[in-house]
Every structure is written in C-alpha cells, then in structure tokens.
Amino acid sequence: MIAVVDYGMGNLKSVINGFRRLGGEVKVTSKKGDLYEADGIVLPGVGSFGKCVKNLENLELFAPLRELILKGKPYLGICLGMQLLFEESEESPGIQGLSILKGKVVRFPSNLKLKVPHMGWNGIKIKKEHGILKGIKDNAYFYFVHSYYCIPEEEDVVATTTNYGVEFASSVQKGNLFACQFHPEKSQRTGLMMLKNFIEMWG
C-alpha cells in the first residue's frame, strides 16, 4: 500500500488517479499510523514551505515522516515534497525543513529576468541511473510549476538537472528516497512511467 499524505496542500487528485490508473493500491491519509504501515510514502504539494511544515506539525506527521525516511521507508516527494527534504528555504526564513538532505531552497534570481514561477514543460538531464527513471530517456520533458529550487550540498544526490536560466537539481535520490521538482502526475506518458516504476519497486 502506498500512503499519499494529505496535509491540506496541493492537488492530490492527479497523483491518486495516476497511481490507481496504473493499478497501485493507494491510501490518502493524514494519520501517522498509516505511514508506518505503508510500503511507500508519497508527499505531493504546492504552496508555501513554511505552511507545509506547520500543517505537517499540526497533524503530528512531521517527526514520523522524518523518522521513516531516515529508516529507509520508500519515499517519493513531488514539488514541495522535494523542497521539504532540505534544511531551509528562502521562502520561509527561520523555519527548518525535514533536514534529510543538506542544502537549501532558493528563489530564481531576479537579475535573470525569468518569468517566475517557472511553469510549463522542460527537459531533464539524467545524472545518475535509478530504478524510478527506468525507461525514461535523457532530455525527456516533464511539467513544472515552481518559483523556488533546491541546492543540495552533496552533488551525489542529484539524479537529474534542468536548465531554466540556471541549471538546478530537478530531482534527487538517496537510498530509498526519490524526489522531483517536476510533476510526474501531470507529465503524461513519461510521468506515468515514473509512477509505474515506483509501484513496481515499492508499491
């Protein structure tokens, strides 16, 4: 069973429909007990880093999430679910993330005169092979919606990069953890392939 965490942020419907369409057993939950029982955890979401942390803490999910990820429970983070893995974000100064990965989350530089948020289709450059990327070609396109991006301190966790004025880590992988800034559930066939790989590995 895959637990999709509902903490009041983000469009869960697309994620749930994607997994169920592929035959995955999905449980949408706000209960920590379900996280312990699940074979894998999915944390989607869009919105504020600080509000995400607060909502998870209010639901008593923040500490269990951190514990389970560190213990090796399979985890897929999408968009905000990737950013939360890091120590801090410029979006919410003074609020600490899960700190599973060393590094920070920053806003796209204003001096580059980019349209922010970065919204639409963009390619990924594969930096390290992983089962969740099986069948996905280098430079494959995924759908993005974000104003902030992650800067990992450890280069070896970067699974893919994407260029939008700057080259940034568009996904990270460490142990049973995989997280992406893009939205696989909105990325048509290629994105569904990634969700299918997650089910086959850990669902």
Question: Can you list the domains of the chain with their CATH numbers?
Answer: 2-202 (3.40.50.880)
Q: What percent of the chain has pLDDT over 70?
A: 100
Secondary structure of 4-38 as H, E, C letters:
EECCCCCCHHHHHHHHHHCCCCEEEECCHHHHHHC
> Which pair of structure tokens corresponds to residue 32?
């920590």
CB 50 within 8 A of CB 92: yes
pLDDT tens, residue by residue, 90-124: 999 999 999 999 999 999 998 888 999 999 999 99
pLDDT at 10 over 80: no
**Secondary structure (3-state) at 64:** helix
Point out the catalytic residue in the list 25, 118, 185, 200. Answer: 185
pLDDT at res. 49 = 96
Pairing relation of β-strands 158-164 and 166-174? antiparallel
Note if the pTM is more than 0.85: yes
Phi and psi, residue 155, nearest 5°: -65, -25
Point out the catalytic residue in the list 79, 88, 91, 180. Answer: 79
> Which pair of structure tokens corresponds to residue 148?
């902030």
pLDDT tens, residue by residue, 188-201: 999 999 999 999 98
pLDDT at res. 112 = 84
60 is catalytic: no
User: What confidence category does residue 203 fall into, taking pLDDT thresholds of 50, 70 and 90?
Assistant: low
Range 157-181 burial, b when 16+ CB lie within 10 A, else e = bbbbbbebeeebbbbbbbebbbbbb
**Secondary structure (3-state) at 49:** helix
Q: Mention every residue, 6+ apart, whose C-beta is less than 8 A from residue 37.
A: 1, 3
79 is catalytic: yes
pLDDT at res. 157 = 98
- Tabulate helix, strand, coil % of the chain (nearest 5): 35, 30, 35
Point out the catalytic residue in the list 52, 88, 150, 183. Answer: 183
